[in-house]
Structure 1
Amino acid sequence: MNRLENKVAIVTGSTSGIGIGIARLYAAEGAQVVVCGRRAEKGQAVVDRITAEGGKASFHVMDITDTASIEKLVEDTAEAYGHIDILVNNAANVALKDGRVDELTIEMWDAIFQSDMRGTFYVTKCVLPHMRKDARGGSIINIGSMASCGGDLGSTAYASAKAGVDMLTKSVALQYGKDNVRCNCIRPGLIVTPENDAHVPQALKDIFLSNIMVNRYGCPEDIGHACVYFGSDESAYVSGQIITVDGGMNSHAPTVAQFRSMGSRTW
């Protein structure tokens, strides 16, 4: 415990799913966690749960598509705590419709990139000056997706945006490493959360599970544990890395043929 003691961490998109898992583990390890998202009621519930568990957290409203709200989040956090040690870029709008190249409209493409690529870029841009001026530096952790590991029958814009997050990770690590700012990326595999569990058909879950190299689906805490490592001083010599936390699914041949036979485009 206390691997993140005295560190201030912003976790975007932490009012649901993976973000909650990251925020709770960060607080359990001693960080002051800034929970943020669009839904104040849900965000305050996360803060209340963290404080009930003995952790330290506060809520700040933020819309990943609204640059003004991103700027205010970063400014208010720096003013309240004096420094920002960790940024976890978790917020993304996975509910947006996606599809094949011929099916996507330019509006659909732009909406997904605005949420999943531009938002990650802009929060990083706003946080960098605070980390660079502090001798402590900082750690930026981008939440990507295993969708960027290979082509898919659908989710074209989403996968492309997440591939962009991979390269943004390497660029930030290269450009600001000498300022003591590290940047790494975590690609989640199939993570079952209270929000998505009912929306993933059992047949597709079975296909995933048969190709996962361990005996279960992922959970938010699996991503949270990786985030703790990248946020802690234990990973001080690790930067520019992309790790896929997927139970080993992408360590072998893909499952496209199985999905195609079902007339499905994954979930």
Structure 2
Amino acid sequence: MGRVQGKVALVTGGASGIGLSSATLLAKEGAKVVIADYNLEGAKAAAEAINSQGGEAVAVFLDASKEDSIKAAVDFTVEQYGTITVLFNNVGGTNLQKDLDVVNMDLDEWDRLMNMNVKSVLLGSRFAIPHMIKAGGGSIINTASMAGFFSDSVRSAYGASKAAVVNLTKYTASQYGKDKIRVNGVAPGLILTPAAKNNMPGELLEIFSKFHALPYHGEADDIGNTVLFLASDESKFITGQVIQVEGGHYIGNPTIADFNEYVAKAQAK
């Protein structure tokens, strides 16, 4: 207990999934948490759940596609708790019906994702950093993705936007490190959030399992615990890094799983 005692955290996209896990864990470890989400009722329910468990949290509406809404969420946090020392820029998404290969993607979707996935990170940091400087420092954590490091047959805009988040994390860390502001990211692989569980068929999960180094899938708390670590002083000498939390899916030669299957079949003959 108390790993982030006395810190004030703004978690965007905090009503569900990774954001909810992070907000809950931060509050459990002593932070005062503001849960910002487009789904205000969900954010309120999350805050109520945290408060019922002895933590301290409030909810605020956030439209991460709009600059004034992002500023309002930061201002609300400072008005509510006097400062902001942790910012988790977690809002992001894609549309698999529109975010296709580079020839066929919807260009409006490209613009939408660059605005929501990248500009929201820029603006959240832009508005929070002056308050963190006044507070004597802080920690910014950005949600990137393994899609920012590796390619896919679709999700071109999503991958490009998350690659931008990776580099923006490094730039911001370089620019504000002397102000004792650490800026890091977390890059999830497949994480079984409720949305993933509801939308991914078992056959697709088996494909991911085949290529994981570990024999299980990630859960929201695997990212939440990474966020908690980066928010805490335990990571005080870490900045400009993006921690890949992906079960070893990308660490090996991509033919390993198929090769092992081939060897097993040969040995069984």
TM-score by length of 2: 0.92
Counterpart Cα distance in 2 of 1:101 and 1:253: 26
Task: Report the AA paired with residue 130 of structure 2.
Answer: P
Match in the other structure for 1:24: 24
Cα distance in 2 for partners of 1:254, 1:54 equals: 46
Q: Give the superposition deviation at 1:105.
A: 2.5
Amino acid at match of 1:150: F
1:1-267 matched pairs, under 5 angstroms? 1-95=1-95, 97-135=98-136, 137-254=137-254
Query: Kindly, what percent of the aligned residue pairs are identical?
Result: 39
Q: Report the Cα distance in structure 2 between the residues aligned to 1:108 and 1:91, rounded to whole angstroms.
A: 16
C-alpha deviations, 1:204-263, integer Å up to 9, x for none? 1101111111121111100011011100011111101111001111111348x99xxxxx
- Kindly provide the CA deviation profile for residues 68-93 of structure 1, in whole angstroms up to 9, marking residues without a partner as x: 11111111211221111100010113
SS at match of 2:147: helix
Unaligned 5+ runs, structure 2: 259-269
Secondary structure, aligned partner of 1:250: coil
Correspondence for 2:266: none
Secondary structure at 1:18's aligned position in 2?
helix
How far residue 95 of structure 1 moved from its aligned partner, in angstroms, is: 4.1
Equivalent AA in structure 1 for residue 120 of structure 2: G
Give the deviation of 1:11 after TM superposition: 0.5
Bigger CA drift: 36-45 or 90-99?
Answer: 90-99
Distance 1:224 1:154 in 2: 27
How far apart are 1:196 and its partner, in Å?
2.2
Aligned residues: 256
Describe the shift of the 1:204–1:131 C-alpha distance in structure 2 as closer, same or farther (beyond 3 A).
Answer: same
Letter in structure 1 aligned against 2:179: D
Amino acid aligned to 1:56: E
- Following superposition, the deviation at residue 53 of structure 1 comes to 1.4
Local SS of the residue matching 1:142: strand
Question: Per-residue displacement from partner, 1:93-122 (whole Å, max 9, x unpaired)?
Answer: 334631100011321110111111111111
Hey, what's the Cα distance between the residues in 2 that align with 1:11 and 1:19? 6
Equivalent position amino acid for 2:119 in 1: R
Q: Choose 156-165 or 34-43, whichever is displaced more.
A: 34-43
Q: Which has more radius of gyration?
A: 2
Q: What SS does the aligned partner of 2:183 have? A: strand
**Greater alpha carbon shift after TM alignment, 14-23 vs 76-85:** 76-85
Partner SS state of residue 25, structure 1: helix
Return structure 1 stretches of 4+ with deviation > 4 angstroms: none
CA RMSD of aligned residues (A): 1.5
